[in-house]
Amino acid sequence: MNKKQKLKIVLLCLPALIGFAVFYIVPFVRTIGYSFIDNTLSKQFVGFSNYASVLGNKYFQMALKNTAIFSVISVSTTVLISLILSLGIVKLSNRFSFIKSFFILPYILPTASIIFIWQSIFGGESYEALTRIESISAFFEILPLYLLFTWKNIGINIILITSALMKVPREVYEASAVDGAHGLRLHAKITMPMISPTLFFAIVLTFVNSLKIFKESYLFYNTNYPPDVAYMVQNYMNNHFQKLNYQNLSCAVVIFTTVMAILIFLLYRAENKTGDYTN
């Protein structure tokens, strides 16, 4: 590649880089700055006292705990169900191009257009009665969010995983079957390592989508203050934004972004180790 071609690539990428810097990097740097001052008027430096206040806040602790539980359960459940269904769908490879359009519909449909149906399903008197039983109320209060998230994201995962499964050579399975590998052992030793890059991408995509559940939560519960079990970090940040409490908001953003970055980094490290093993 000569210098002229490199210059063309840089010029083509420049608008995207400028846009990313203006709309993401610069605001995030300013957010970090806001997290170290007492307020936007005096702008007095207070060190890490804002972080100590946020981390000690019981509502932030509750929101962080709920977000972590929701992400772990919803991501693992959605990816596992997608993987199981994909193993069955791959046998219908000749019909996959036809049915994959149905799987992607929940992912691209506007949330506001489908939330009415979900409210009608979980808004009946019999279901509301279950949410008033003290011992099981928390489970039924958060259950609609889990089902809505799984229903909306399972389709795109099936498309990704099934496409990866269809690219695994049939000869590999035939050779492994001759050597005595069958059933779960066949998938554990052959299928999982060979589709690991796509599987990890599906996990990361589903994890990122799980952090966007605030929109579904707000529309479903129709309030900024959902039940305690459904109170997420996004609710905490949105409520402080409405109160113009930019210091707590900024601290929550920085903490949340740091945790996200660490988790995604660990996922990619695990993917690279799996990739090295398969190679």
Question: What does the pLDDT look like over 144-158, one tens digit per residue?
Answer: 889 989 988 998 898
CA gap 235, 239 in Å, rounded: 6
pLDDT of residue 277: 44
Average pLDDT over residues 184-193: 75
Average pLDDT over residues 82-111: 74
Structure-model confidence comparison of residues 23 and 275, the more confident one: 23
Reference 138, options 241, 218, 65, 208; nearest CA is: 65
Distances (CA, A) of 143 to 14, 81, 105, 202, 246: 45, 17, 22, 23, 32
Structure-model confidence comparison of residues 233 and 279, the more confident one: 233
What is the DSSP-derived secondary structure letter of residue 46? -
Structure-model confidence comparison of residues 48 and 42, the more confident one: 48
CA gap 161, 83 in Å, rounded: 7
- What percentage of the chain carries pLDDT values higher than 70? 89
pLDDT-derived band at 89 (thresholds 50, 70, 90) equals confident
Q: Is the pLDDT of residue 276 over 60?
A: no
- Using CA of residue 14, residue 18, residue 20, residue 26, what is the dihedral sign? positive
Place of tokens 């509502």: 59
- pLDDT, tens only, 220-253: 888 888 888 889 998 898 888 888 888 888 999 8
Structure-model confidence comparison of residues 179 and 160, the more confident one: 160
Average pLDDT over residues 75-98: 79
pLDDT-derived band at 98 (thresholds 50, 70, 90) equals low
- What percentage of the chain carries pLDDT values higher than 90? 13
pLDDT of residue 69: 92
Place of tokens 């992607």: 104
Q: Is the pLDDT of residue 191 over 50?
A: yes
Q: Is 13 exposed, middle or buried (0-12, 13-18, 19+ CB in 10 A)?
A: exposed
Choice among 53-57, 122-126, 180-184, 269-273 with the minimum mean pLDDT: 180-184
CA gap 232, 64 in Å, rounded: 7
Helix axes 137-166, 214-221, angle to 10 degrees: 140
pLDDT of residue 222: 82
Helical segments of the chain, H only: 3-20, 26-34, 49-55, 58-89, 93-108, 111-122, 125-131, 137-166, 170-178, 183-186, 192-194, 196-210, 214-221, 233-242, 246-278
pLDDT of residue 14: 87
pLDDT-derived band at 186 (thresholds 50, 70, 90) equals confident
pLDDT-derived band at 80 (thresholds 50, 70, 90) equals very high
Q: Is the pLDDT of residue 76 over 90?
A: yes
The whole model's pTM is what?
Answer: 0.81
Average pLDDT over residues 179-197: 75
Structure-model confidence comparison of residues 149 and 135, the more confident one: 149
